[in-house]
Structure 1
Amino acid sequence: MTTDDRVRPATPDDIPTAVRTLGRAFSDYPYTRHVVAADDHAERVRRFQELFLTRVGMVYGRVWVGDGGLAVAAWTTPDQDPTPGLTEVAPSIGELAGDRAEVFEATEKLVEPYRPTEPVWYLATVGVDPDAQGRGLGSAVLRPGIEAAARAGYPIYLETATDRNVSLYERLGFKVTAEVTVPDGGPHIWCMRKDVS
């Protein structure tokens, strides 16, 4: 087991910094650029991440932070079904998507067939504040979840929309299981998995 003293489980006190980090990390991400309205985009993305973190990740999953919230990784796990939280936030997610709500739904339908149907740890969101990148925080904040999933005997699944992220995840032992190109100028999405070794 690896330990990094920069990383620890998130607490409610970490939420403001973690939300800021995720908002900044995803403000220009290809997926969110495509499925979240352009008007007031950065604030919409921040609120999207806040909903997921506070209503799903912290309640039904596991969340780790690095450097006091400058890196964040939020997971759902087979230990607790996140469906109630996802159902609760769905209307707000639709509102935040704005005039891209139909595109959001269509993109989700394109990727859905490639998602696992068996129990997995799902990396729901991970981000490093742009000012803190390049210090290994991304890998560091992912390791506790990867190790916890392995100890529990579950595979891990994630999706990413940048080839740079694909390289990071491959270094951590993930393999690409499917690729989806979203039409009408949408992002290329890689589905990735790490099986129990």
Structure 2
Amino acid sequence: MDVAIRTAGEDDREPVVRLLDAAFQDDPVSGWIFPGTEYRRATHPRLMAEFTGVVLDEGRIDVTEDGSACALWLSVPEDDHPDDNHPDDGHPDDEAAARLQEAVDPDNERLALITRLTAGMHPRGRAHEYLWMIAVAPDRQGRGMGTALVRSVLDRCDREARPAYLEASNARSRGLYERLGFVTREPLDLPDGPRMWPMWREPRG
């Protein structure tokens, strides 16, 4: 599918937040973090706003030209990985997890917990591209837009011999990523919640 893709700028902040919010409202992990429909509708956008801000500052957000899909990427350098002798030091670390909880929903301990858990399973020792989130507007899903966004970066990863990493939050997305060459690592079962699948992709020659 031929999809026009550009890099998001500051003017795209609010549209990206709305897109992420719409795409992840019914996601199993979002439902675990924010149980209850009304509660999730009220608080979930704040989490998406925090994620968007981080990636605008530290990474890159790709958006389709029509604004119906976006992908949040971070380039993780080799020296950004925690030292193996300090397994409790994650990326983001406990301090970052606490800041996220305070900014989004101070009484919600699951925000800090999931941040620490995902940081703990993040690969160490090799530089890679990290697909933090990808979202397609609900009325545009199933048309190959998400695949086009991911492929545009994976093609560069292959040229540069650079691996890629992500965490799939549902079985459907896991299947998509497997077709793109990602391999599932040991899954993470959230306490009394859904399963997440960390996935790693070696560059293709």
**TM-score by shorter chain over 0.5:** yes
Q: Deviations over 1:106-163 (max 9, x none)?
A: 3444444432012221111111111111211111121222223333332111101210
Change (3 A) 1:175 1:97: farther
Aligned length, in residue pairs = 190
Unaligned runs of 5+ in 1: none
Residues 101, 111 of structure 2: 8 Å contact kept:
no
Q: Which residue number in structure 2 is paired with residue 155 of structure 1?
A: 163
Give yes or no for contact 2:100–2:111 (8 Å, CA) kept in 1: no
Q: CA deviation at 1:33?
A: 1.2
Q: Given residue 40 of structure 2, which amino acid in structure 1 is its aligned partner?
A: H
Cα distance in 2 between the residues matched to 1:78 and 1:111: 15
The equivalent of 2:83 in structure 1 is none
Q: Note if 1:50 corresponds to 2:57.
A: no
**Aligned AA for 2:112?**
E
Q: Could you say which residue in structure 1 is the equivalent of 2:136?
A: 128
**CA RMSD in angstroms, aligned pairs only:** 2.7
Q: How does 1:164-175 map to 2 (within 5 A)?
A: 164-175=172-183
**Residues 50-102 of structure 1, C-alpha deviation per residue, up to 9 Å, x if partnerless?**
22112x21121121001432101011103696x79x9678524444245432x
Tell me the distance in 1 between the aligned counterparts of 2:69 and 2:117. Answer: 29
The answer to whether the 8 Å contact 1:73/1:125 transfers is yes
TM-score by length of 2: 0.80
**Which sections of structure 2, spanning at least 5 residues, go unmatched?**
81-90
Letter in 1 for 2:142: G
Confirm or deny: 8 A CA contact 2:3 2:145 kept in the other structure. no
Q: Which amino acid aligns with 1:190?
A: W
User: How far apart are residue 42 of structure 1 and its match?
Assistant: 2.2
Q: Does 1:179 align with 2:187?
A: yes
For 2:165, what is the secondary structure of its paired residue? strand
For the residue of structure 2 that corresponds to 1:40, the secondary structure is: helix
- Flag the 1:87–1:11 CA change in 2: closer, same or farther, 3 A: farther
Alignment-derived partner of residue 143 in structure 1:
151
Task: Quote the residue 1:40 is aligned against.
Answer: 39
- CA distance 1:90–1:151, shift in 2 (3 Å): farther
Q: Is the Cα contact below 8 Å between 2:8 and 2:61 reproduced in 1?
A: yes
In 2, the alpha carbon distance for the partners of 1:9 and 1:88 equals 26
> Counterpart in 2 of 1:15?
13
Stretch moving more, 16-25 or 30-39: 30-39
Alignment partners' CA distance in 1, 2:3 and 2:171 = 29
* 2:97 and 2:116 in contact (8 A); partners too: no
- Relative to the length of structure 1, the TM-score reads 0.82
What amino acid is the match of 1:143? Answer: R
Q: For structure 1, which segment, 153-162 or 139-148, has the greater mean C-alpha deviation from structure 2 after superposition?
A: 139-148
Q: Which amino acid aligns with 1:68?
A: D
Contact 2:61 2:72 survives alignment (8 Å): yes
